């Protein structure tokens, strides 16, 4: 649904006068503040520069925010570089600049797609659940987080990413973010400088595992890299979500330089994911490849090449092979006699306990669950009833569908499931429509489709946290569906063909 308005532009003379007024007013305010509050004066200067930049290149603010959000640079700046919390938290709000510019000065339509009302339904479920939560303050905090990092971020993105050109730039912003994060992780691994966090963008997680090799001090342990998040499994997830975006940029670019950049980015992004040594990410990557094969983007001979590349990657990082040896969670969970699960490693047994505890919570609170963010509050009660491996700390469900079922019940599952179904359905429909008319657009759509698939597969082993990454990708997917719909409706489809040096995958 769109709220239409005039397409008239603000006259250049009025825009110039407004810019001069902003500069003059900003100079007066900053000058008055500088003597008393230098920090606020600096903030005022940044505000004025952003305002001016919005008029010069409003889309640049959008690209900047997407890049900062995905690299977690704002959080890193607060934690490691003394930037005030309010400044870091305000980064997503910068999207209000281009949002307001398009609506007020360009008189563009307000975009409210079919996903926004469903997010409203999910919000209502969370609000109802918070009314009955054992810790109402914590539940309300979870609701507010969903409003800010979910609904607000989604609405701002679909209203600021409005053109195919900006969509391509947005995808490249994420790919470059992944290239940089993966490059830092790769350098940290080959130099083994685990004591360096490289400005907060190469934080070490608390996890490590034995490699099976021995030295004078005993078994050699491999640290698991955490990137700018400091959390290995979550870093693996957000990196793996970028792999299809980078890969399809490689396939879709005509420029040899951009193809080379996309190829390097794909390798470093995948390397960054590997260096987390996440078993869930390994499962997610395999399922992504199978999905691509099903969509006929990877033929059998191409799949063989990918497998060879993976073997070489495992040779380069043999520690990952020993990590994958313990990937027996499924057989352990379905063992009939219970001996397999009892002999599994501690992480597997605790995760099995947490997942089964979520099942019990859902069974006893099937409609709206125990309340948003309330799984940890109920963990001890239900984990004790499961009894496989109960940890005397607050824990998470380690599974998005099970965790959401426990905290939001069947209504929450239906709301989020509907959001995902409609988004993926529209992406796949537009992918098919663009296959011959605009292969480059088809690649962008497919990359986002697979990015969401990666999130869903890896989320089988991760709870619903760091939700800004999920809703950022969903926002780009929503913007893509809106752009594609307008392009097809007006028959304005750019005649951009893939590189003649690289044959496009044949799909059906």
Alpha-carbon gap, residue 76 to 74, rounded angstroms: 5
pLDDT at 164: 94
Alpha-carbon gap, residue 355 to 334, rounded angstroms: 13
Q: Is the pLDDT of residue 172 over 70?
A: yes
Alpha-carbon gap, residue 465 to 467, rounded angstroms: 5
**Per-residue confidence band for 499, with pLDDT thresholds at 50, 70 and 90:** very low
Query: Of residues 507 and 169, which shows the higher confidence score?
Result: 169
Three-state secondary structure call for residue 210: strand
Mean of the pLDDT values across residues 322-348? 52
| Per-residue pLDDT tens digits for 109-153 | 999 999 999 999 999 999 999 999 999 999 999 999 999 999 999
Alpha-carbon gap, residue 329 to 306, rounded angstroms: 25
Find all residues with CB under 8 Å of 324, minimum gap 6, and list them: 279, 282
Q: Is the pLDDT of residue 337 over 50?
A: no
Ranking 4-18, 225-239, 416-430 by mean pLDDT, the lowest is 4-18
Alpha-carbon gap, residue 401 to 457, rounded angstroms: 11
Instruction: Kindly state the tokens that stand for 41.
Output: 């004066």
Q: Is the pLDDT of residue 503 over 50?
A: no
Find all residues with CB under 8 Å of 309, minimum gap 6, and list them: none
383 with 390: CB under 8 angstroms? yes
Start-to-end CA distance of the chain, whole Å, equals 30
Q: Which residue has the tokens 């799909």?
A: 507
Mean pLDDT score of the chain: 81
Measure CA 123 to chain center: 20
* Distances from the Cα of 393 to the Cα of 125, 142, 350, 390, angstroms: 27, 20, 11, 9
Listed residue (466, 441, 381, 371) closest to 409, CA to CA: 371
**Per-residue confidence band for 209, with pLDDT thresholds at 50, 70 and 90:** low
Mean of the pLDDT values across residues 385-406? 86
Q: Are strands 2-3 and 204-215 parallel, antiparallel or unpaired?
A: unpaired
**Per-residue confidence band for 46, with pLDDT thresholds at 50, 70 and 90:** low
| Per-residue pLDDT tens digits for 246-265 | 999 998 888 899 999 999 99
160 with 95: CB under 8 angstroms? yes
**Per-residue confidence band for 47, with pLDDT thresholds at 50, 70 and 90:** low
Query: For every residue of 296-324, which 3-state class applies, written as one string?
Result: CCCCHHHHHHHHHHHHHHHHHCCHHHHHH
* Distances from the Cα of 207 to the Cα of 187, 231, 372, 387, 463, angstroms: 19, 9, 27, 24, 18
Q: Is the pLDDT of residue 345 over 90?
A: no
Instruction: Kindly state the tokens that stand for 420.
Output: 């995902």
Listed residue (30, 24, 61, 25) closest to 44, CA to CA: 30
| Per-residue pLDDT tens digits for 439-464 | 889 999 999 999 999 999 999 888 88
320 dihedral zone (left: phi>0; alpha: psi -120 to 50; beta):
alpha
Query: Of residues 319 and 370, which shows the higher confidence score?
Result: 370
Q: Report which DSSP code applies to 295.
A: T
Ranking 146-150, 191-195, 326-330, 461-465 by mean pLDDT, the lowest is 326-330
Q: How many CA atoms lie within 13 A of 429 on its CB side?
A: 12
């Amino acid at each position: 649904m769109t709220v239409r308005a005039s397409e008239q532009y603000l006259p250049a003379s009025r825009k110039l006068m407004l810019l001069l007024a902003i500069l003059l007013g900003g100079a007066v305010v900053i000058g008055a503040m500088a003597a008393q509050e230098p920090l606020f004066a600096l903030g005022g200067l940044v505000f004025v520069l952003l305002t001016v930049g919005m008029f010069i290149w409003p889309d640049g603010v959008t690209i900047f925010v997407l890049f900062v959000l995905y690299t977690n640079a704002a959080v890193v700046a607060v934690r490691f570089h003394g930037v005030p919390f309010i400044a870091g938290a305000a980064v997503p709000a910068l999207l209000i600049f281009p949002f307001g510019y398009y609506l007020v000065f360009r008189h563009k339509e307000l975009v409210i797609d079919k996903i926004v009302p469903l997010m409203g339904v999910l919000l209502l479920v969370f609000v109802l659940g918070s009314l009955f939560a054992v810790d109402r303050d914590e539940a309300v905090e979870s609701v507010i987080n969903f409003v800010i990092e979910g609904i607000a971020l989604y609405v701002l993105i679909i209203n600021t990413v409005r053109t195919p050109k900006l969509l391509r730039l947005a995808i490249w912003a994420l790919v470059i973010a992944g290239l940089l994060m993966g490059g830092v992780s790769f350098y940290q691994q080959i130099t083994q400088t685990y004591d360096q966090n490289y400005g907060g963008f190469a934080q070490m997680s608390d996890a490590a595992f034995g490699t099976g090799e021995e030295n004078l001090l005993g078994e050699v342990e491999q640290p698991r890299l955490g990137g700018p998040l400091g959390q290995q499994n979550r870093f693996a997830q957000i990196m793996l979500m970028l792999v299809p975006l980078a890969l399809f940029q490689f396939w879709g670019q005509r420029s040899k330089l951009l193809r080379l950049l996309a190829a390097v980015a794909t390798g470093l992004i995948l390397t960054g994911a590997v260096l987390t040594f996440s078993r869930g990410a390994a499962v997610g990557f395999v399922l992504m490849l199978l999905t691509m094969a099903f969509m006929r983007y990877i033929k059998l001979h191409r799949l063989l090449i990918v497998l060879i590349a993976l073997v070489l990657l495992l040779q380069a990082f043999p520690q990952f092979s020993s990590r994958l040896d313990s990937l027996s969670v499924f057989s352990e969970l379905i063992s009939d006699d219970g001996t397999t699960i009892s002999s599994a490693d501690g992480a597997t047994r605790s995760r099995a306990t947490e997942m089964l505890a979520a099942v019990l919570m859902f069974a006893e609170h099937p409609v709206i669950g125990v309340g948003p963010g309330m799984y940890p509050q109920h963990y001890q009660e239900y984990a004790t009833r499961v009894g496989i491996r109960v940890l005397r700390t607050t824990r998470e469900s380690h599974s998005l569908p099970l965790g959401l079922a426990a905290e939001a019940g069947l209504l929450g599952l239906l709301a989020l499931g509907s959001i995902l179904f409609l988004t993926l359905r529209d992406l796949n429909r537009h992918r098919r429509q663009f296959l011959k008319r605009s292969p480059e657009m088809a690649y962008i759509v497919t990359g986002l489709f697979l990015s969401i698939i990666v999130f869903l597969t890896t989320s089988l082993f991760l709870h619903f946290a760091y939700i800004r990454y999920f809703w950022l990708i969903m926002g780009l997917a929503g913007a893509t569906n809106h752009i594609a719909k307008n392009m097809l409706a007006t028959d304005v489809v750019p005649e951009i063909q893939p590189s003649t040096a690289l044959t496009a995958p044949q799909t059906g």
